[in-house]
Amino acid sequence: MSSDVTVSCEDRWQVYHRLQSLDIDCCCSGIKPLTVSLRTPTEALQLWSIVRRVSEPKHVLVELLQQSWQAPSAER
C-alpha cells in the first residue's frame, strides 16, 4: 500500500532518512510529498511513531516519556 505523507518541509527529510534506515520503501523529491509504501502493520506503526516524534512539540514528548517512567500505582 502506497500513501502520501504530509509533514512540514523541514521534517520531511528527517522522516525520509529515518524510514530509509529502517528499510521502509519511500520516495521524497523536490516539492512533492513524501510517498511511503507500507507492507506490514509494523511499518505503519513505525511511520506513525516517526512522524509523531518530529511533529509533536518537545514538551509533549517529554511529558509522555516522564509518564512512561512512572510505575503504575498498586491497587489495595
| 22 vs 72, more confident | 22
Check whether 76 has a pLDDT greater than 60.
no
pTM: 0.74
For the chain, helix, strand, coil in percent to 5 are 55, 15, 35
CATH of 2-69, one of 3.10.50, 1.10.10, 1.10.150, 3.30.70: 3.30.70
pLDDT band at residue 6, thresholds of 50, 70 and 90?
confident
* 36 Cβ contact partners less than 8 Å away, ≥ 6 residues apart: 2, 3, 4, 5, 19, 24, 25, 26, 47
pLDDT digits (tens, 9 = 90+) for 13-57: 899 999 999 999 998 887 778 889 999 999 999 999 999 888 888
Domain spans of the chain, in order of start: 2-69
CB 12 within 8 A of CB 4: no
Check whether 67 has a pLDDT greater than 70.
yes
